[in-house]
Each structure stands twice: as structure tokens, then as C-alpha cells.
Amino acid sequence: MGKSTGFMEYIREVPTDRAPLERINDWHEFHLQMPDDDLRRQGARCMDCGVPFCHSGALISGMASGCPINNLIPEWNDLIYRNHWRQALDRLLKTNNFPEFTGRVCPAPCEGSCTLGMIDPAVTIKNIEVSIIERGFKEGWIAPTIPATRTGKKVAVVGSGPAGLSAAAQLNRAGHSVTVFERADLPGGLLMYGIPNMKLDKREVLLRRIRMMEAEGIVFVCNTEIGGDTYPAVKLRRDFNAVVVTTGATLPRDLPIAGRDLKGIHFAMEFLTANTKALLNGNDNFISAKGEDVIIIGGGDTGTDCVATSLRHGCKSVIQLEIMPRSPDRRATDNPWPEWPKTDKMDYGQEEAAAKFGADPRVYLTTASRFEGNSDGAVKAVHTVEVAWQKNENGQFVPHPVPGTELVRPAGLVLLAMGFLGPEQRLIDSLGLERDPRSNIKADFNKYNTSLPGVFAAGDCRRGQSLVVWAFNEGRGAARECDKYLMGNSELP
């Protein structure tokens, strides 16, 4: 695959991003594209390893190792090196319905398990992936694919996030009539309102795909919450031959400390969703960080997105509190290849904050102890304390406050980005679905069938908060099982 000596001849290169101090002035995507010759050299670094782990899709130590949708990575790397772009696109689309999404927002577990990564920087898989799909759109190779025949079966997909979109695409491919229900005003779920525009452009990328899916025959019904008064769950089961539930894990983790009810304290998704809606609608109806001291409690991608969004609003300062310690610069001995490398990285938001204010905004091993308000009932400060992780009587590591490390930090806006507890329960209750011990919908992996015949569940509502690429994996898998239920067998991959 690739050039037999390419990994020895070429170094890893990625596209040059737009300069941080430039890009914080707008909402355009910050990644730039590489010239074709540079991409071919990067494809040449794929080293024809005997057992490529990049497309394995395994779970090792509870984390993704390799691509969960089993992308045929060595094959399209080789085709790019040989300048066979159309064939590379064909191989990419065999396993991935939406490479334009994964190539932008997936954390690339494939690169973490790249064999070359044991001795040198990994192959730039993610960048090659998005370049292939964008070349396909540019050349007109990608067009709506309408099934030649219809089965006469109707399927409802509840939720239009990553799992829902992939399930809908596959079920439509099988010839079923698919209707996707979304409670928001636009389809996309997490892709639309959970990820900022500078990472995934809504009009040019996301809605481009939604329009294509509509042209293929998929119907999107927005502003409709299943289980509510407008569309009872019993009607859903009566009107459709099968149902696939893909509502995500949208119940946010709260921080119930003193002062939590003060104005100016918001869940991260409230902040990010309102911002994207305002961008799309051209209004100023959003939670503004302009001129504020912003404190973000929590790390991960969501915390980073809050940092970057606050900077674009024109915040006065930004601090990101992380209760965990800073990750090492290199793999620890207990984190060997091909596990996901738990190493420190400065993501785009932290890079922008460092360029703007001179330092990484993250403060590790620190948590909030209480919020302090002003006379108007709005937050004005966050009281913080450092923590040490120690074992409790059950042998579990838990954080303990470190005396003498208390600080009072000014804050006019506090954003809670501490992850999610699981799916919201109203739809689960209305359908009468069984839950697992974590309050997720009970359905076996690779089967996806719930406690009700003909009702399937996939994505975060089944497995809990996870990577977008696992949602694509589960949506495709649920579609295959749903197709088997409807037709007796399935030819879906």
C-alpha cells in the first residue's frame, strides 16, 4: 500500500490552519486544504503493515482503537498515492455514509492505532479522508442515489443526529420509505447544534448532505417531539412498520453547588445551540460572552468549543477548569499502542486562547466549590479549590479538596461542560422501553432490538455518551437489523 519506502522518505504533514488571531474574528471553518501532490505524499506514508489496526474498530481498555466503521484506510491511501481519486472515493463510501463529517469532527482513533505511530508520527488519515470526499463533491461524482424499487415498508427514525442520519441513509438504500423526526427546527442533532460552525459548516457541509438525502427520498419532519402532545408514541408505532430510536444522550451533568441558581450559569449545549441558531437566523438572540470573564467547567471537545465560541464573541478572559490531571506528553507505560493515546494536546480553542491571552486557558486538578453572585442575582465569581485523587474505602479514586488552595475567580459567564448522564427519559417512558442500569435504552450491541418488537435503538441513547463515529457505526448496524426484521434478511453492510 502506498510507496514501499514512503514512510521513511516523507514526514507527517497536515494542512496549515488559518492563523488563530485571524480566525477568531469569524465563524468560517479554520482548516485549510492541502495541494494534491502533498496529499499523495501523505498517502505514500501508509506502510503496507502486515496487520493494519487502523480499521479494526476494536475497544481496548474501554476506548476506541482503530476506525469503528471499519474504513478501508490502507486501500484508499494507496489509491490517492497513485492518483486514482474516483476509485478512492468508491472505497471510502463502502463503509462511510458521511466522510465529510468524520473527516472534520472525528478524533481519529484510526491514527491512534496506526502501526507507523509506534515509531514515527502516524499517517494523516483524517485529512486524506475529508480531501477525498470534498474532491468527490467538487468533481460532481457524488449525486443523489434513489433506490430502483421500494419495499412498501415505512420506517420512522426518531432523532436526526449522527446515528439517525446513518440509519436513515442505509434504510433508504434498502428501499424502505424513511421518515426522520427531529424536535429541533433543523435536522442534524449534535452535528447541527452541538458542534460549532468553525468545525463543521452548517450550510456548506451539513445542509448540503441533508438536501441530498431529501433528494434520495428521505423525509425530515422537524419541530416534532415524539412522545409529546403533537405526536404520541402510540401513533408512531401505528403509522410505521418499524421504528429506530436515535435520540442521543442529551441529559447534561449538573453541578449542584451553592449559587447554582444564579443568572449567567448555563449548560454548554444551551450556549452552543443558541449561538448556532443565531448564526443561521441572522439575529442576536444568543448567550453572549462579549466583555465577560468566562469560566468553563469541564474539558473535552465541548469545553474546547465553548472556549472558541467565547473568543469569537469577544470575551474579556477565559479559563477552563479540569478536575483531572494534565495528560502526559507521550504515551504512558500503561497506555501502549494500539490503545487510544491518552496524551496532552492543545486543541484549536486552547490554541486560540493562548494566542489571544498568552497562555493555555486550562487549569488542571481544580474544581468549583461555590458560585458567588452580585446584588442583581447574577454570577460574579467562582470559588475554586485544587483536588487530589485518592482511593476511598471501596478502592475507587475520588477527588479530595486540597486545603489552602482556594481561589476566587471573577466570572460573568459560567458554562458547564461536564458531559452527559444519558438520554432524556420522556420518549423512553412514552414508548415503554426497558432501560439498562445506566438509564440508557436496553438493546444489545450488534442487535439493537429493544424490549418492543420492531423498535430498535442505536447511538448514544443505547451506549451512552460516545464518539460521533461510534454513532455512525450503530446507526448502520441498527439499519441492518431493522431491514432483517422487515424483510427476513438484509444485504446492507
CATH number of the domain encompassing residue 232: 3.50.50.60
- Do 19 and 68 fall within a single domain? yes
Q: Of 45-59, 168-182, 317-331, 473-487, give the lowest mean pLDDT range.
A: 45-59
* CB of 176 closer than 8 Å to CB of 155: yes
Domain interval for residue 466? 154-250+421-487
1 occurs within a structural domain: no
> Residue 361 has what DSSP assignment?
-
End of a domain among 418, 445, 468?
Answer: 418
> What was the pLDDT predicted at 175?
98
Instruction: Work out how many domains the chain is built from and give that number.
Output: 3
Rounded (10°) angle between helices 300-313 and 268-281: 50
Strand 362-363's sheet: what is its strand order?
A: 265-267, 413-416, 293-297, 317-321, 362-363
> What was the pLDDT predicted at 2?
67
Segment 135-144 long-range contacts (CB within 8 Å, at least 24 positions apart)? 135/85, 135/89, 136/85, 136/86, 136/89, 137/100, 137/208, 139/85, 139/86, 141/86, 141/89, 142/89, 142/212, 143/212, 144/212, 144/215, 144/216
88 occurs within a structural domain: yes
* CB of 186 closer than 8 Å to CB of 222: yes
Give how far Cα 330 sits from Cα of 264, 280, 336, Å: 38, 40, 10
144 occurs within a structural domain: no
Distance CA 17, CA 111 (A): 19
> What was the pLDDT predicted at 297?
98
> What was the pLDDT predicted at 63?
84
* CB of 117 closer than 8 Å to CB of 339: no
What does the block give as the cell for 302?
465541548
Residues in the chain: 493
147 occurs within a structural domain: no
- Do 122 and 63 fall within a single domain? yes
* CB of 185 closer than 8 Å to CB of 143: no
- Do 386 and 265 fall within a single domain? yes
Q: Of 25-39, 53-67, 166-180, 322-336, give the lowest mean pLDDT range.
A: 53-67
Mean pLDDT of 365-392: 97
Distance CA 78, CA 69 (A): 19
402 occurs within a structural domain: yes
67 occurs within a structural domain: yes
- Do 441 and 343 fall within a single domain? no
Distance CA 382, CA 364 (A): 15
- Do 300 and 391 fall within a single domain? yes
pLDDT digit string (tens) for 304-321? 999 999 999 999 999 999
51 occurs within a structural domain: yes
146 occurs within a structural domain: no
- Do 401 and 285 fall within a single domain? yes
pLDDT band at 1 (very low <50, low <70, confident <90, very high): low
- Do 70 and 100 fall within a single domain? yes
Q: Which of 401, 397, 327, 396 is nearest to 368 (CA)?
A: 401
- Do 312 and 211 fall within a single domain? no
pLDDT digit string (tens) for 148-204? 999 999 999 999 999 999 999 999 999 999 999 999 999 999 999 999 999 999 999
- Do 448 and 459 fall within a single domain? yes
- Do 269 and 412 fall within a single domain? yes
pLDDT band at 137 (very low <50, low <70, confident <90, very high): very high
Q: Is pLDDT of 57 > 90?
A: no
- Do 239 and 288 fall within a single domain? no
- Do 165 and 242 fall within a single domain? yes
Strands 177-181 and 219-221: parallel
- State the CB neighbour count (10 A cutoff) for residue 139: 11
